[in-house]
Each structure stands twice: as structure tokens, then as C-alpha cells.
């Protein structure tokens, strides 16, 4: 999805959605952009969606940049099951340079919102924007303390953008962050050690213990809201996926585990 074109449609062209064309929808996600009437537009879109008979029961998520707690409450009250307030960038200087604004300010709002609306407020983190694994790990540990679910993304260079020449993250670095997110989401204790350039060298488990903990392969599947699998969101078909959009085969689990330290 990072790599495809996004054709414009008017709301009138989209509604009414009469046919599912055989697709079974399990979750709707409304990706929004920052604009002054953000909350009102979200409310209008959700109520239009709820008028469609087969979409009435489907949980709706959204990812946006609310300005304050009031807007968070308003978005949730409009019918969202979950609202992601994306941090995206783990390093404060890079955050300001890449997204504009202040990471501490957004982080404060995220934590306040999660405290007020537990399990309804989530976040996104992008791996590979120039941050260290240690910075990402510190953030993941703190987010786990506040019980804020995290969806992980791998940075994807997109042609004609500012970061077009920047490389995507290494698979091994991404796997380590996936493992940490998974262990924390399972409420498992971790004892991290770091090596050169802040790379994680241990999670505090032996090789065999870690292999057993990761044997289901769930750590390497797409993370985030239930049923959000974002196939090929940040990888090309034919490539080993950063995020598997489906359960892994036994061979894929073995391979993903081996990729951790390769």
C-alpha cells in the first residue's frame, strides 16, 4: 500500500457500497490526514458506512493525528472501535525532521488517551528511519507498560519522495523488533542486552527457550488491530515479507527465527 497509486474518488462514487464482490470484510480502517475538520469528516464517513447493511457490524479503526483528548473522545464516540495515534518515528530529532511537530507532545497525548480509553487507543511504529534498535526497544517497553498495542511497519522507500534513496531496514533488525513487540504483547519478561550501534543481542532467553516461545510464528505476522493484515504494505511480492499477512508454515517459522541473528 505504500507503493501503489491512490486514485481519487468522490464520496458519491463510493457510496452506496452495494456489492462485496465476494470479499469478506473483517475490519475497516480509515486512514485520515490532518485537517481542521478531521473529527467531523470522520463522523460523517462512519455514519455513511454504517448505513450499508453488510458493514453495520464490522469494527472500524482509524489512524489519524487528533489535536487533543477531546478529538480522541469524539472520534471514538463516532463509532470507532480503535484509534491509532501513530508515533511512527522513535527518535525525537528524526520525528521533527520527518513529520514535523514534537514526539514528546504526541507521545503525551497518546498515553493520556490510552489511559482514558484503555485498549481503544493504539499506535504505529516504523522501523528503519535512522533510529537505533535501542531507541525502538525503549519505546516498546514503555508502550507495553501503558498497555498500548503497537503495529509495526518497515520503512519503504517510495520513488519521488524525500527518502527515496534511503534503504529499508535489514530483515534481521526488523525480526528482532518484531520479537520484542511479541514478547511484550504476551506479557513475557525480557532482559535486553545491546551491542554495536544499539542492536539487540539478547532478549534474556537461551536459544532453545526463545525458539520455543516463537514456535507459533505469530511474532512474524502483521501486528496491529485484529484482522489487519496489510498484505504487501511494505514489501514486494516475491520478497521475504517483513510482516507475514497469514500464519507461517513450519519452514517459514524456522527461517524467520534464523533471520534474527543472520
Contact footprint for ligand SF4 (CB under 6 A): 27, 29, 61, 63, 82, 84, 124, 151, 224-225, 228
Cβ at position 124, least distance to ligand SF4 in Å: 6
- Choice between 27 and 48, CB closer to ligand SF4: 27
Cβ at position 104, least distance to ligand SF4 in Å: 22
Q: At what angle do helices 103-116 and 69-77 cross, to 10 degrees?
A: 50
Q: Are the CB atoms for 207 and 213 separated by under 8 Å?
A: no
Closest by CA to 243, choosing from 258, 259, 232, is 232
- Choice between 110 and 151, CB closer to ligand SF4: 151
Closest by CA to 66, choosing from 97, 112, 11, is 112
- Choice between 128 and 224, CB closer to ligand SF4: 224
- Choice between 27 and 50, CB closer to ligand SF4: 27
Cβ at position 214, least distance to ligand SF4 in Å: 21
Q: Are the CB atoms for 243 and 258 separated by under 8 Å?
A: no
Q: Are the CB atoms for 104 and 87 separated by under 8 Å?
A: no
Largest CA distance in the chain: 57
- Choice between 118 and 195, CB closer to ligand SF4: 118
Cβ at position 224, least distance to ligand SF4 in Å: 2
CB burial class (10 A; 0-12, 13-18, 19+) of residue 191?
Answer: exposed
Cβ at position 143, least distance to ligand SF4 in Å: 14
Cβ at position 98, least distance to ligand SF4 in Å: 19
- Choice between 30 and 190, CB closer to ligand SF4: 30
- Choice between 33 and 250, CB closer to ligand SF4: 33
Q: Are the CB atoms for 109 and 146 separated by under 8 Å?
A: no
Cβ at position 170, least distance to ligand SF4 in Å: 23
> What's the rounded Cα separation, in Å, for the pair 145 and 185?
10
E strand spans, the chain: 28-31, 60-63, 82-84, 121-127, 150-154, 193-194, 200-202
> What's the rounded Cα separation, in Å, for the pair 83 and 122?
6
| Chain residue at closest Cβ approach to ligand SF4 | 224
Amino acid at each position: 500500500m505504500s507503493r501503489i497509486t491512490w486514485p481519487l474518488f468522490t464520496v458519491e462514487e463510493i457510496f452506496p457500497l452495494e456489492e462485496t464482490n465476494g470479499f469478506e470484510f473483517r475490519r475497516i480502517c480509515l486512514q485520515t490526514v490532518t485537517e481542521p475538520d478531521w473529527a467531523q469528516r470522520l463522523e460523517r464517513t462512519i455514519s455513511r458506512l454504517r448505513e450499508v447493511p453488510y458493514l453495520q457490524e464490522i469494527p472500524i479503526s482509524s489512524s489519524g493525528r487528533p489535536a487533543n483528548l477531546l478529538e480522541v473522545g469524539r472520534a471514538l464516540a463516532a463509532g470507532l472501535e480503535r484509534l491509532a495515534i501513530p508515533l511512527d518515528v522513535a527518535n525525537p530529532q528524526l520525528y521533527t525532521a520527518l513529520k514535523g511537530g514534537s514526539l514528546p507532545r504526541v507521545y503525551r497525548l497518546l498515553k493520556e488517551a490510552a489511559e482514558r480509553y484503555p485498549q481503544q487507543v493504539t499506535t504505529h511504529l516504523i522501523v528503519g528511519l535512522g533510529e537505533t534498535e535501542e531507541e525502538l526497544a525503549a519505546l516498546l517497553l514503555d508502550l507495553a507498560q501503558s498497555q498500548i498495542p503497537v503495529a509495526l511497519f518497515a520503512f519503504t522507500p517510495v520513488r519521488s519522495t524525500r527518502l527515496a534513496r534511503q534503504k529499508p531496514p535489514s530483515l534481521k533488525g526488523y525480526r528482532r523488533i518484531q520479537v520484542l513487540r511479541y514478547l511484550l504483547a504476551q506479557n513475557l519478561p525480557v532482559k535486553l542486552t545491546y551491542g554495536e550501534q544499539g542492536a539487540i543481542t539478547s532478549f534474556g532467553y537461551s536459544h532453545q527457550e526463545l525458539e520455543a516461545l516463537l514456535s507459533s510464528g505469530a511474532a512474524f505476522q502483521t501486528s496491529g488491530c485484529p484482522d489487519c493484515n496489510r498484505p504487501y504494505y511494505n514489501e514486494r511480492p516475491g520478497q521475504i515479507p517483513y510482516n507475514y499477512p497469514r500464519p507461517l508454515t513450519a519452514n517459514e517459522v524456522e527461517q524467520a527465527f534464523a533471520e534474527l541473528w543472520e
